[in-house]
Chains A and B, each alone.
Chain A
Amino acid sequence: MLRASEKPNAVMAHLPALRVLLRHINCLIPPPRTSMPALCTIRATCHFLLLSPKPRKLHATATSKGPENHALLLNRDERVARNVTPSDVVEKGSTIAAIVTSLGGPPAAVGIVRLSGPSAVSVAGRVFRPAKRSKNNDWKPTSHVVEYGVVLDSEGNVIDEVLAVPMLAPKSYTREDVVEIQCHGSEVCLRRVLRTCLEAGATLAQPGEFTLRAFLNGRLDLSQAENVGRLITAKSVAAADAALAGIQGGFSSLVRSLRMQCIELLTEIEARLDFEDEMPPLDLNIIMDKIHSMSQDVESALEAENYDRLLQSGLQIAIVGRPNVGKSSLLNAWSKSERAIVTEIAGTTRDVIEASVSVNGIPITLLDTAGIRDTDDVVEKIGVERSEAVARGADLIIMTVSAVEGWTSEDTKLLERIQSAKSSTGSLIPVILAVNKIDCNPRAETDWDRGCQSHDIFSKRVFTCAVTGQGLQDLERAVLELVGLDAIPSGGRQWTVNQRQCEQLVRTKEALERLQSSIKEELPLDFWTIDLRDAALSLGQISGEDISEEVLSNIFGKFCIGK
């Protein structure tokens, strides 16, 4: 009787617990957002990985181990469900924990679990036993001194051998007490350590919550916080450098100085409205010079936006041309790989082949395509269609011709096909003409100019030799010029500007332009202040100094807080 009644009880208790777990998962995985920054996505995946096995485990233990064990696990979850209301979860003083190194790829040698919050040290003290000290003493770490030891689970079993790095407030990333536990890099190790920390009283961090706390605690301003996301998702060294420069405040300080200049000018003008008699008259030339140099600073900041977009998304370059002009050789030579099969047979490449190169830090995807010609071969026909589709979707097209054969009527036809594709989408994709196999016909360089003049559709023309690598640098330069990055130093180390910041910069630029025209039209002094104030407001929004709805929603969109 007694035994029998246990079973249904266990079943009964099981149901709500499952529901609770499901609710937790729903709550923790952010709703799908199309423009969600990669920072969030990575972390979101990490939650999913962490939590999704849990319910499965429950089923497993329920069937394999027996009711006692099972009930214990359930009891813990029930307590969580009944006692922890959402208000506790979002409480300010909570200590959060998460795996901060990436998961999912091949195991790294070392992975890190980070704890942040007022009880970070005590939580860490519960799970971490330093090699030097006995178990009973409270862990009293010295800030920024690495300690070696082990992590124990609640039953005292050693889980992993770790290094603990305590960084006490305010000298830490979040300006709270932070403890980082460096574990072995496998997912199993990291998850077990994180789980132990959560059992010891930490809360699982929301996506981006460490950065959010850094922002809230004044360690980072908004544009710096945004750059953290970029640094984490950086695709190239240059992108990482730019993001890092952003965090360190290169862009922020430019914006701050521009804003200060606006405010100083505003003060100068307004002082004259109230105290005309006591101040020297305004020097118009100096003011115009100031405004001009401010406009230029804004302009160059806007150029960085272009660079930034390229750093984040990269360029797609389609290599098109008749069969057997050396497109695949060009791809191989450029990417320094044997990515594409090269033969003497025309129509070797049937599908689109990708290869990655990096030009001045900008990630470029080269797309080698099937040679475009009229063909009856079914497979090749599909390949040709794909080539045209790729050409339409690319940021830039390199049309390859053979120096040996010269410009042929087929080339003209092909050019027409590309052009018609272009006009259908309405956008103008720049085309570079690459005259390949120049080593086989060196005279072509001089002859070509005459032939090429009729095709002024080409934005650039370069002579290449895929075999010797000749002309590849010219090709890179041509690409950079076409996307407007020739002015960027080859190292590419510069801060970047995102979409939100760009919009405000454009507003600033427009305001300054209006101001200049107001001065030229000799509008009364007071009108100058309106556009000057507009410029100052826009600049203030970039660093979050003037808070608008837009900035707020950005903050909440980015950091998924307050849930």
Chain B
Amino acid sequence: MATTTLFTLHLCRFGQSFSKKLFSTSPSSDTLLNPHHVTFHHKLRRPNSSSVPAFFRRFSAVAAASTSGEANYDGIGTADEKYDVIVVGGGHAGCEAALASARLGARTLLLTLNIDRIAWQPCNPAVGGPAKSQLVHEVDALGGEIGKIADRCYLQKRVLNVSRGPAVRALRAQTDKREYAMQMKSVVESTPNLSIREAMVTDILLGKNDNVEGVCTFFGMKFYAPSVVLTTGTFMSGKIWVGRTSMPAGRAGESASHGLTENLQRLGFETDRLKTGTPARVDIRTVDFSGLEPQHGDKEVSWFSFDPDVHIEREQMCCYLTRTTGRTHQIIRDNLHETPTYGGWVEAKGPRYCPSIEDKIVRFQDKESHQIFLEPEGRSVPELYVQGFSTGLPERLQLPLLRTLPGLENCSMLRPAYAVEYDYLPAHQCARSLMTKKIQGLFFSGQINGTTGYEEAAAQGIISGINAARYADGKQLIVLERESSYIGTLIDDLVTKDLREPYRMLTSRSEHRLLLRSDNADSRLTPLAHEIGLIDDRRWKLYQEKQARISEEKKRLRSVRISGGDLAAEVSRVSGQPVRDSSTLESLLKKPHMQYGILDEHGFGNIELSRIEKECVEIDIKYEGFILRQQSQLQQMVTQQHRQLPEDLDYHMITTLSIEAREKLSKVRPQTIGQASRVGGVSPADITALLIVLEANRRKAQEQSRYKIMNAMRAKALEEEVPEVSCTETVSS
């Protein structure tokens, strides 16, 4: 098996030249894939000698289950069962993983429990929102699918946090859940190199060197591949709860997958349990919207994808706002003992950031009312999603509870709210490539790593898909550094922090978010995606043209000067600051409250630029000082934080570390100092101690080599002295 090394993306530069710089300094530049000639070397992953018995064993297993004569079929279809990459699970992580892998040229098999549920949105049919939208933009910049599908299937789009700064501005789309799943399914079905099959995977097949060889299904099928991506979602030993009643299921009406947890545990993986929930759906025809506050979509629609091909506007639907009432709170308080959390029969932890309505009422007792959003789930379905109203109350109480909300007094319920409990594998067992540390070639993505959300799943999916394909091809794995992207931040958090509740992406999780904006996701990540072969020539050309236009425009704004006139008058009125004669347009744009739109109004804008491009120009110029400052902050951290920790460092021997830090660091085994500092239970003092140990070791090694040289010199000197001594001897004797 080819040994793979990590290929790390450092965020050393931003903008267009960023990736070129990155790759030119990388020792692996010559080994990178040429996107035009994606070829996979089909080496036999297992030595011939071992593959024969493996087939034989499979054969004999089948033989034991049925009658005779199967040997005749053995030759037929065996080739189909060997792949480069197997992706287990067809949700948002699985789809991105399978698509990325297949697009990189790897023969990929997507195994899912139910082909009709590919890319299902079992909870809120919405994509984006604060921090999550950045993930979607980044996945799109890497050549992923989630942004495009959301752009194609939106019911409504809104940009949130408009006034809070360009880094936290967030696009959110309400999507048509049926259409979304159909679109994604057809993309998956039509992608070359990608096969789909219904199956319940129950075991992982291992090779001799703790490497993965394939998977085994419930019905005894074995599929072989050197890379396997597990995206089990809520299905692994899933159990759904409504009130006190539970049944094994991954989602309402879909059976859970059993047996895989035990087999993973047998391989030495640590597993734990998480829970999440989804609110009730009501019949849109039974809701009285007349008294409710409508929430319309933006007039000017924004897009997740950087690909203008999917920028096709469609009619938007309206969402509505209602609120909990005193009666709602009363019913919940009276029946708290009936909920799983407060009744105490479900112990798994739910997402703090997406609390059930009973959690909100218990935790914020002084708040008299909570906002509830009513969101349509599709153009052709009558279902209405009641956002912010998930509950663990028994079904008999759910309708009365819904009917306490203004507008829903006469509603009828289509589906009850329920909670789901499932197994996950704390992600410190993965490296930042998302490959498990224990088993080579085995990758985890999505809720199995303890996250929540379609966007988080997709972000991990694309990384594990890329790396699974690269691993199968014997290439270096790719790691996105924390500072490079929200995806990097997400994965770094997952693998270093010992998370025990569902992880949701938040803007505050990213320390350098001003550099990780949605508008520059393409200039941060698309060059990398192009280098590895996920961005085709058409998109690459579009990308380069866009960047050229932006930099041209910035140059123009720096050179064009104005003196007096309407524009100057308006700028000084808007900003409250005087405009000096012969000011550049750039300096005008930097003034408070000044926007590119004002340049447009006075004929000083550039009509060839798109709205998005103008926005990029405006942000780059207006916030230049802040961006530079944050870059220097980052640089300062990066030099220190990216210092590698030796893989064989024995933390237990470092007595200057606290006992807790020794244990945690031995468990997580971080790759860099920065990661070590983010491991829970590791204090700044521990990091100091660690840095000092590293530095002392370095100096020790230096001193030892110097000592060796001196020894050698002394030995030489002594040899030379020998004749002298013998000479003296002769004389004295």
Contact = CB atoms under 8 A, between A and B. Distances in A.
Range for the number of chain B residues in contact with chain A: 35 or more
Contacts of A277: 371
B696 A274 contact: no
Interface stretch (A51-59, A196-204, A524-532): A524-532
SS class of chain A's interface: helix, strand, loop or mixed? helix
B623 interface: yes
A524 to B, nearest CB: 3
A273 B688 CA distance: 32
Nearest to A8: B728
Interface of B: 130-131, 161, 163-168, 353, 364, 371, 506-508, 511, 513-514, 592-593, 623, 626, 629-630, 633, 636, 639-640, 655-656, 658, 684-685, 687-689, 691-692, 695-696, 698-700, 703-704, 707, 710, 714, 718, 721, 725, 728-729, 732-733
A555 B692 contact: yes
Contact of B161 (A92, A273, A522, A556): A273
Nearest to A531: B629
B507 A87 contact: no
A90 B718 contact: no
A8 B725 contact: yes
Given A530-B629, A545-B684, 19 more contacts: A4-B732, A5-B729, A8-B728, A16-B718, A19-B714, A93-B655, A221-B685, A274-B353, A524-B165, A525-B168, A526-B167, A526-B507, A526-B514, A527-B165, A527-B514, A527-B623, A547-B688, A552-B691, A562-B695
Contact of A90 (B623, B700, B710, B728): B700
Nearest to B504: A274
Contact of A530 (B630, B640, B691): B630
A270 B718 contact: no
A83 B640 CA distance: 36
A86 B707 contact: yes
A274 B165 CA distance: 13
Nearest 5 Cβ contacts at the A-B interface: A526-B165, A524-B165, A270-B508, A562-B699, A562-B696
A546 B684 contact: yes
A543 to B, nearest CB: 9
Contact of B684 (A534, A537, A544): A544
A402 B16 CA distance: 75
B165 A216 contact: no
A551 B687 CA distance: 12
Contact of A218 (B167, B630, B685): B685
A75 interface: no
A524 B164 contact: yes
Contacts of B707: 85-86
Given A19-B714, A524-B163, A547 B629 contact: no
B681 to A, nearest CB: 15
A86 B700 CA distance: 7
Interface residues of A, number: 57
A561 B167 CA distance: 44
A562 B700 contact: yes
Nearest to B658: A218
A241 B729 CA distance: 67
Nearest to B129: A274
Contacts of B639: 549
Contacts of B698: 562
B164 A526 contact: yes
Contacts of B703: 86, 90, 563
A548 interface: yes
A555 B167 CA distance: 37
A235 interface: no
Contact of B695 (A222, A523, A526, A552): A552
Interface in A56-105: 85-87, 90, 92-93
Contacts of A276: 161
Nearest to A5: B729
Interface centre among A90, A278, A548, A549, by most chain B C-beta atoms within 10 angstroms, is: A278
Contacts of A526: 164-168, 507, 513-514
A1 interface: yes
Contacts of A413: none
Contact of B688 (A11, A15, A534, A544): A544
Interface of A: 1, 4-5, 7-8, 11-12, 15-16, 19, 23, 85-87, 90, 92-93, 216-218, 221-222, 267, 270-271, 273-278, 521-527, 530-531, 533-534, 537, 540, 544-549, 551-552, 555-556, 561-563
A19 B718 CA distance: 12
A537 B593 CA distance: 29
A533 B511 contact: yes
A552 B732 CA distance: 58
A1 B165 CA distance: 95
Contact of A547 (B166, B513, B658, B691): B691
Contacts of B696: 90, 561-562
Interface centre among A15, A222, A526 (most CB of B within 10 A): A526
B633 A533 contact: yes
Contact of A85 (B353, B371, B640, B704): B704
Given A11-B728, A274-B506, A277-B371, A86 B704 contact: yes
A1 B656 contact: no
A19 to B, nearest CB: 7
B699 A525 contact: no
B362 to A, nearest CB: 14
A278 B511 contact: no
Most central of B161, B633, B721 by chain A CB within 10 Å = B161
A23 B506 CA distance: 58
A547 B640 contact: yes
Contacts of A1: 733
Contacts of A545: 684
A555 B353 CA distance: 42
A527 B633 contact: no
B699 A7 contact: no
A273 B508 contact: yes
Most chain A CB neighbours (cut-off 10 Å) among B168, B707, B718? B168
B186 to A, nearest CB: 35
A15 B721 contact: yes
Given A16-B718, A217-B656, A87 B700 contact: yes
A4 B695 contact: no
13 contacts: A5-B732, A8-B725, A8-B728, A90-B703, A273-B168, A277-B371, A526-B168, A530-B514, A533-B511, A546-B684, A547-B684, A562-B696, A563-B703
Contacts of B131: 274
Given A216-B689, A530-B630, A523 B732 contact: no
Contacts of A522: 592-593
A93 to B, nearest CB: 8
Contacts of B688: 222, 544, 547, 551, 555
Contact of A16 (B623, B656, B714): B714
B507 A274 contact: yes
A161 to B, nearest CB: 36
Contacts of A556: 695
B695 A274 contact: no
A23 B640 CA distance: 34
A72 B508 CA distance: 69
Nearest to B697: A562
Nearest to B388: A277
A534 B623 CA distance: 16
Contacts of B658: 218
A355 to B, nearest CB: 45
Contacts of B684: 540, 544-547
Contacts of A267: 508
A522 B699 CA distance: 51
B591 to A, nearest CB: 9
B729 A8 contact: yes
Question: Most chain-A Cβ atoms within 10 A of its Cβ — which of B639, B696, B733?
Answer: B696
B521 to A, nearest CB: 17
Contacts of A548: 636, 640
Contacts of A562: 695-696, 698-700
Contacts of A23: 710
